A and B are shown apart, each in its own frame.
Chain A
Amino acid sequence: MPFSISKDEVLETVRMLQTENLDIRTITMGINIMDCRAQNGEETGRRIFQKIVQFASQLVKVGDDIEKEYGIPIINKRISVTPVSIIADGFTVDEMVVIGRYLDRAAVEVGVNFIGGFSALVHKGFSRGDRALIEAIPETLATTARVCSSVNVATTKAGINMDAVCQMGEIIKKTAELTADRDGIGCAKLVVFCNAVEDNPFMAGAFHGVGEPESTLNIGVSGPGVVLSAVRNHPDVSLGHLANIIKNTAFKITRTGEMVGRIASKRLNVPFGIIDLSLAPTPAIGDSVADILESMGLERVGAHGSTAALAMLNDAIKKGGAMASSYVGGLSGAFIPVSEDQGMINAVVAGALNIEKLEAMTCVCSVGLDMIAIPGDTPAEIISAIIADEAAIGMINRKTTAVRLIPVPGKKVGDWVEFGGLLGHAPVMKVNENSPAQFIRRKGRIPAPIHSLNN
């Protein structure tokens, strides 16, 4: 038997690649930089730079080779490093900024478009390093192009650090102001997490967790277009049947990622970490999670029923994907960013989708309020309160949630912002303007929920 795959199966694969935008969204190399610590920020930054270049010099080439050889687009090659607040603990804010610039230079040197790990984990409180890093975020994101930052402010086990939530509202505002000439793009590289995961390959929230090995390769697959096509081909089947179809499709998408991951891991001689099963939309037509939900039978995403549809989609993707890969991890679900998904944008413009409905949908999707532009004059307390709500959803539901909001300086509801490339464009959305200021200024910690006591 020269080849055991049927003709229909061959044509199905070819169709996925040719017309349904099947691709590998990212190959992210995680690199431990704990051993790069030196006496000061400058020297530490230099060592980090050298280590990244040493480990990742072949990353882009190997990715490109696999893409050419196998005919599967590999859109992004990226790097994540150990949270900088840990290895740079004790340094000043200025030294943190210096390290951020070395990360940026390293990204340029090896040719990756983003590098994650300018991060702090403060779910229970701040170390000195955490404080310095968080204060360094606005300047770092304003003066670098490729550095991504994330701050974990809550976990199910620790509760919510409301001091951090309060501060992040101000940090987001300041980051937007320092990049006001570019519609506050600094904020597109800053994520606030609850239950952040250590092996997430997707930006802006990727970092190389402290429990990870020296180096690892994590793969983010994609394929909203493939799932969309499968759903569209079955307009009349019951939801149980549809869930099965989505599972089958997710399985096939994930197998492609598994193959690329194994080959890349072998060629780079770096252990294969995980596959992240997330359906990550792009601004390309047809590459939209919103379109999938609409093709399930909603007139517009945002309509009542959207949360149920998303819940089923998310679960079916996990089930199909989990069967397809030896190691599944990261965020694994469906992303619902606004600016990166044309269907979401259309729904916002049509008045069908608002921030409250998006918040409800984040209870069942893989991450959270993502890439949402809000008016530039939104007070920091309101941003903090949005973060607190998302963190509460994550904490109570034992899932990762995140907030990536862009308070666009000088823009009002209905104005447009243009970030370009994968970050897309978006209309500025309305937020509830009633003040949560007194609640946010109480600060302190929201205790961990009762179900965290599971030992």
Chain B
Amino acid sequence: MTTVEEVKKIIITVLGHDRVGIIAGISATLADKHINILDINQTILQGFFTMVMVCDITGSTIDIADLRGILKQKGQDMELQITVQHEDIFRYMHRI
């Protein structure tokens, strides 16, 4: 795949019912792909789990589309909705 323009950060969101091992499961997958977690923001509201992770993929060889596929599958296994997005889309949409 073509190299991502300069910055190599991605945003992962996880939504679903809270259960044991969500963060462990996802971070194990990320570690396995040499992806560094920069920031985690996680809350539970009435049993509903919401997490936003900022990750650095500079050291990883995996491309975003493949990672999205892997985490989507993981999400299905754990009954969670997981999305993976390039950070640029958030920057463009919310900042000028």
The interface-forming segment of A62-70, A331-339, A399-407 is A62-70
Whether A70 lies near B81 (C-beta < 8 A) is no
Within 8 A of B (CB), among A54-95: 65, 68-72
Contact with A along B1-44 (1 / 0, CB 8 A): 11011000101010000000000000000000000001101010
Asked if A5 lies at the interface with its beta carbon under 8 angstroms from chain B, I say: yes
A14–B4 CA distance with the chains assembled, in angstroms? 20
Asked if B68 lies at the interface with its beta carbon under 8 angstroms from chain A, I say: yes
Asked if B52 lies at the interface with its beta carbon under 8 angstroms from chain A, I say: yes
Chain B residues with CB below 8 A from A13, complex form? 85, 89-90, 93-94
Within 8 A of A (CB), among B77-96: 81, 83-95
Asked if A4 lies at the interface with its beta carbon under 8 angstroms from chain B, I say: yes
Whether B11 lies near A3 (C-beta < 8 A) is yes
Chain B residues with CB below 8 A from A9, complex form? 90, 93-94
Q: From known contacts A2-B39, A4-B95, A267-B2, infer whether A10 and B90 are also in contact, taking CB-CB under 8 Å.
A: yes
Chain B residues with CB below 8 A from A7, complex form? 41, 43, 50, 52
Find the A residue at minimum CB distance from B63: A69
Whether B1 lies near A10 (C-beta < 8 A) is no
Contact with A along B41-61 (1 / 0, CB 8 A): 101000000101010000000
A198–B63 CA distance with the chains assembled, in angstroms? 38
Asked if A11 lies at the interface with its beta carbon under 8 angstroms from chain B, I say: yes
**Minimum CB–CB distance for B25 against chain A, Å:** 19
Q: From known contacts A18-B83, A255-B93, infer whether A3 and B9 are also in contact, taking CB-CB under 8 Å.
A: yes
Asked if A355 lies at the interface with its beta carbon under 8 angstroms from chain B, I say: no
Find the B residue at minimum CB distance from A72: B89
Chain B residues with CB below 8 A from A2, complex form? 9, 38-39, 54
Chain A residues with CB below 8 A from B92, complex form? 255-256, 258-259
Whether B83 lies near A252 (C-beta < 8 A) is no
Whether A71 lies near B41 (C-beta < 8 A) is no
Q: How many residues of A contact B (CB 8 A)?
A: 26
A7–B54 CA distance with the chains assembled, in angstroms? 11
Asked if A210 lies at the interface with its beta carbon under 8 angstroms from chain B, I say: no
A71–B93 CA distance with the chains assembled, in angstroms? 14
Chain A residues with CB below 8 A from B41, complex form? 7
Whether B90 lies near A71 (C-beta < 8 A) is no
Whether A71 lies near B54 (C-beta < 8 A) is no
Find the A residue at minimum CB distance from B86: A70
A266–B88 CA distance with the chains assembled, in angstroms? 15
Whether A68 lies near B94 (C-beta < 8 A) is no
A255–B90 CA distance with the chains assembled, in angstroms? 10
Asked if A263 lies at the interface with its beta carbon under 8 angstroms from chain B, I say: yes
Choose from A5, A18, A69, A267 the contact partner of B90 (Cβ within 8 Å).
A5
**Minimum CB–CB distance for A271 against chain B, Å:** 18
Q: From known contacts A71-B84, A256-B89, A258-B92, infer whether A11 and B68 are also in contact, taking CB-CB under 8 Å.
A: no
Find the A residue at minimum CB distance from B39: A2
**Minimum CB–CB distance for B93 against chain A, Å:** 5
Find the A residue at minimum CB distance from B68: A71
Find the B residue at minimum CB distance from A10: B52
Most buried by B among A3, A17, A258, A263: A3
Whether A10 lies near B2 (C-beta < 8 A) is no
Whether A18 lies near B64 (C-beta < 8 A) is no
Chain B residues with CB below 8 A from A252, complex form? 93-94
Contact with B along A263-302 (1 / 0, CB 8 A): 1001100000000000000000000000000000000000
Choose from B9, B64, B81 the contact partner of A71 (Cβ within 8 Å).
B64
Chain A residues with CB below 8 A from B63, complex form? 68-69
Choose from B2, B81, B87, B89 the contact partner of A3 (Cβ within 8 Å).
B87
Choose from A3, A4, A18, A256 the contact partner of B93 (Cβ within 8 Å).
A256
A235–B9 CA distance with the chains assembled, in angstroms? 37
A252–B96 CA distance with the chains assembled, in angstroms? 10
Contact with B along A1-30 (1 / 0, CB 8 A): 011110101110110011000000000000
For the complex of A and B, list the 3 residue pairs with the smallest distance between their C-beta atoms, beginning with the closest: A68-B65, A259-B92, A2-B38
Query: Can you list 5 A-B pairs with a CB-CB distance of less than 8 A?
Result: A4-B95, A5-B91, A18-B83, A65-B2, A70-B89
Chain B residues packing against A (C-beta within 8 Å): 1-2, 4-5, 9, 11, 13, 38-39, 41, 43, 50, 52, 54, 63-65, 68, 81, 83-95
Chain A residues packing against B (C-beta within 8 Å): 2-5, 7, 9-11, 13-14, 17-18, 65, 68-72, 252, 255-256, 258-259, 263, 266-267
